[in-house]
């Protein structure tokens, strides 16, 4: 893939924690601008370790990470952290201000935006997730699904290159899950979705990566990976009881 069109390039990424535990053994992947890609794998596969390298929270191992052509390095860290927005599994880890508006404004304000420009950025981010009318509400008065949408808005307000979502469908009721899916499909941004929710990966991500034992064990159309029974069993991935990916009309990579 042409580096100009790549949102993310990871080459030979290996990492061991100070206690000696080796989490990554040489990860290679490229994600093109505007792609929606699911990162799948069993617990302990190294998914969180990989994600924490994307914005420089973890560094110091072997290999390289490049975001939109910019190496993840100390001198580029401020720009990298603007370009890679991570939405945590628990929205309450991201929401800490008295109102929704202040939470969404926090990042851009810290980056130097103010006045009408800041107000416009906040309005746009809240509009993208359908939460404009809640701007002056305290986040803790919102439902869990609404708080997750606000957490997404806090990241979108930074106008990132890549939106990284950690288990975005966890603890959502069916309506909130559908609403979030509609939002994610509408965004003009590269999405990397870390999830154990395989039907959600099939619904939203035409392509998936399987990370297993610290390496990329498979990379291809989500539908192909989820219907490869040997591959799934080998990497301890299981579909929900009764769910057949081949029966889902209109999912990315499947005939509609």
Any domain includes 254: no
Neighbour count for residue 112 (Cβ, 10 Å): 8
Any domain includes 246: no
Residues making up the chain, counted from first to last: 256
Q: 33-79, pLDDT tens digit by residue?
A: 999 999 999 888 899 999 999 988 998 789 999 999 999 999 999 89
Any domain includes 245: no
Six-digit token pair at 13?
């990424």
Predicted confidence at residue 60, as pLDDT, reads 75
Any domain includes 247: no
Q: pTM score > 0.75 for this model?
A: yes
In this prediction, residues 83-112 reach a mean pLDDT of 94
What is the widest separation between alpha-carbon atoms in the chain? Answer: 56
Tally of CA atoms within 13 A in the half-sphere of 103 that contains its CB: 30
Residue 209: band (very low, low, confident or very high) from pLDDT cuts 50, 70, 90: very high
Predicted confidence at residue 250, as pLDDT, reads 61
Predicted confidence at residue 206, as pLDDT, reads 95
In this prediction, residues 108-124 reach a mean pLDDT of 94
Any domain includes 103: yes
**Alpha-helical regions (H) of 168-210:** 174-186, 198-204
Six-digit token pair at 191?
């999405």
Full domain range(s) for residue 197: 3-239
Any domain includes 250: no
**DSSP label at residue 154:** H
Any domain includes 211: yes
Any domain includes 214: yes
Q: 2-44, pLDDT tens digit by residue?
A: 545 799 999 999 999 999 899 999 999 999 999 999 999 988 8
Query: What is the CATH classification number for the domain harbouring 160?
Result: 3.40.50.300
d(CA 245, CA 256): 12
State the total domains in the chain.
Answer: 1
Predicted confidence at residue 3, as pLDDT, reads 47
Phi and psi torsions of 86, nearest 5°: -105, 125
Predicted confidence at residue 4, as pLDDT, reads 54
């Amino acid at each position: 893939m042409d580096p100009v069109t790549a949102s993310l390039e990871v080459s030979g990424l290996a990492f061991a924690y100070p206690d000696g535990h080796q989490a990554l053994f040489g990860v290679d992947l490229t994600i093109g601008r505007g792609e929606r890609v699911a990162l799948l794998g069993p617990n302990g596969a190294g998914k969180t370790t990989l994600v924490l390298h994307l914005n420089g929270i973890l560094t110091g191992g072997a290999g390289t990470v490049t975001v939109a052509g910019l190496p993840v390095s100390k001198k580029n860290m401020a720009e990298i952290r603007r370009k890679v927005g991570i939405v945590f599994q628990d929205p309450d880890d991201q929401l800490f201000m008295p109102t929704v508006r202040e939470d969404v404004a926090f990042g851009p304000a810290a980056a130097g935006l103010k006045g009408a420009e800041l107000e416009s950025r906040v309005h746009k981010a809240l509009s993208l997730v359908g939460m404009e009318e809640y701007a002056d509400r305290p986040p803790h008065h919102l439902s869990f699904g609404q708080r997750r949408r606000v957490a997404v808005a806090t990241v979108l307000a930074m106008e990132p290159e890549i939106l990284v979502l950690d288990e975005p469908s966890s603890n959502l009721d069916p309506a909130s899950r559908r609403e979030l899916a509609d939002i994610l499909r509408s965004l003009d941004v590269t999405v990397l979705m870390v999830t154990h929710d395989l039907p959600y990966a099939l619904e939203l991500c035409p392509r998936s990566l399987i990370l297993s034992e610290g390496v990329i064990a498979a990379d291809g159309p989500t539908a192909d990976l989820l219907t490869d029974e040997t591959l799934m069993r080998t990497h301890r991935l299981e579909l929900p009881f009764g769910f057949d990916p081949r029966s889902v009309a209109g999912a990315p990579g499947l005939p509609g």
